[in-house]
Amino acid sequence: MSRGEGSLGFIGLGAMGSAMCRSLMRAGRAILGYDIDAGRLAASVDDGVSAAGSGEEIVSQADVVLTSLRSSAIWAEVAETVLLPNAREGQLFIDLGTVAAPETRRLAAAIAEKGAALVDAPVSGGPHGSETGTLRIFVGGNEAPVARAMPILQVLGEEGRVVHCGQSGAGQVVKGCNQLAMGIADAAYMEALAFGAREGIDPRAIAQAVGGGGGWRGHFSGLAERIAEGQGDTCCIKYPEYPYFLAEADEAGTPMPITRAIAEFASKVPSAYRDNMDRPTISFWRELMTREVVDPRRATAEHSGGTEPWQRFSSRARRAVVLAHNEAMGMGMPLVDTEHVLMGLVSLGEGAATEVLEGLGVALDRLAADLRDHLVHGSAAQEPNRELAFTPQAQRVLHVAYAESKRLEHDHVGTEHLLIGLVHEGRGAANRLLRKYGVDLTRVRAGVCRLHEGA
């Protein structure tokens, strides 16, 4: 590609970047593109993009360089190591990703010292909006570079939704307004749904009673339906971006009480899931459904006075069996099975697990003793202890339990560790191993159903 006036380079050819390239090419623009992922680059070449061998080649060849990268940290690294060292006078950089506003301002100033300019233009609308040229684009930067960027951005954005919000960083701040409005609202709706679902109420019933129609009630219904279909882990609250917005709020002295409360709640768990941008995140819904907050006023409450075992559960143990029912419902299964019971017990810890099982005459003491004996006299690398005759799958259950006790720095293998091992290997191993020791969770399942029905 020649270095003619307005030649375009594009770094970052993921779902958003590749779709934006296609929109620009349909508008008659030639694109020199690069992605660190060879597969993504090849796919864009198939679309008509000319391949560059590196980001440095993009900067050296293009007059206007667009970036679409998935995190603030990645963009800052590319800006510092690729864009800034190779920037030249008169060059324009347009960042289409979501970045912490303080980072945008810092690097915009550094780029300006090279005689180039940075426009922050984060987008909203997903791959569909990128493909159809109907994105919302929040633009920040000085008047002259923004005016130069606008013809490009207007190809990508919906008419009337490409908005110059202010000086450098203002586009990122307004993108924060967009993300927080969506993410905090969904977090609030999920919390409202969990308030009912943790009492065993079907999310569809909640949606029918509370949701429906247009506006917020319609959105609430849609979220409830996804949760009822077992998709709660995919419901996103934009959590990976909260640090960007809180960094800007700290710099500006802006109080963000709701955002900070959600961030604090979410910070207590590892980011074991992926969001719609393939970034590590948490399952906010799972945390709402499984995390236990012990009310000190109820911590010493006596058991209820019913005559059936499930009526004598403490409130904490009752919560465990309701969670088992919710787990089954969330997986779209009509019956509560062994794995659901185990997951409900694990979610509340050893105290509730022991109470529920012993209250129904189910003791895992012999299994725990055999586990300790097996781990003392044998190892995963040796033949199975012939006296115990554990299957390889059952042995894995036992070793997961042992590893969990060590991870928690407990001096013995207890009920909770065993339950974690059983859940880890799935329902088949759970049933086989428990039955070997004369443990049948049928009564526990019956107790769950009766409790849920209000017996």
* Per-residue pLDDT tens digits for 278-336: 888 999 998 998 887 655 444 444 444 444 444 444 554 555 555 655 655 555 554 45
Half-sphere exposure of 401 (CA within 13 A, CB side): 30
Instruction: Classify domain 8-167 by CATH architecture.
Output: 3-Layer(aba) Sandwich (3.40)
Structure confidence at residue 272 (pLDDT): 81
| Confidence (pLDDT) at 300 | 43
- pLDDT for res 302: 40
Kindly state the percentage of the chain with pLDDT values over 70. Answer: 63
Residue 138 pairs in a beta bridge with 163
Position with higher pLDDT, 156 vs 337? 156
pLDDT tens-place string over residues 248-279: 999 999 999 999 999 999 887 778 888 878 88
- Confidence (pLDDT) at 15: 93
Residue scoring higher pLDDT (403 or 90): 90
Q: 180-208: string of b/e by CB count within 10 Å (b at 16+)?
A: beebbebbebbebbbebbbebbebbebbe
Q: What is the pTM of this model?
A: 0.67
At 124, the pLDDT band (50, 70, 90 cuts) reads: very high
How large a percentage of the chain has pLDDT more than 90?
56
- Alpha-carbon Rg for the chain in angstroms: 28
Q: Mean per-residue pLDDT for 101-124? A: 97
**Active-site position among 114, 175, 238, 268:** 175
The CA distances from residue 370 to 13, 147, 349, 393, 418, in Å, are 55, 75, 22, 16, 12
Cα–Cα dist 406/106, whole Å: 46
Instruction: Give catalytic status of residue 175 as yes or no.
Output: yes
Domain ranges of the chain: 8-167, 175-290, 309-452
Looking at every residue in the chain, the average pLDDT score rounds to 80
Q: What is the pLDDT of residue 375?
A: 54
Q: Where is average pLDDT lowest: 146-150, 226-230, 384-388, 392-396?
A: 384-388
Cβ-contact 169, 120 below 8 angstroms: yes
Q: Are 248 and 172 in contact (CB under 8 A)?
A: yes
pLDDT band at 397 (very low <50, low <70, confident <90, very high): low
Res 433 pLDDT > 90 = no
CATH architecture of 175-290: Orthogonal Bundle (1.10)
| Greatest extent of the chain over all pairs of C-alpha atoms, in Å | 86
Q: Is the pLDDT of residue 96 over 80?
A: yes
pLDDT digits (tens, 9 = 90+) for 200-224: 899 999 999 999 988 999 999 999 9
> What pLDDT is recorded for position 1?
39
Q: Does the structure show a pLDDT above 60 at 339?
A: no
Encoding tokens for residue 181? 């409005």
What's the full length of the chain, in residues?
Answer: 455
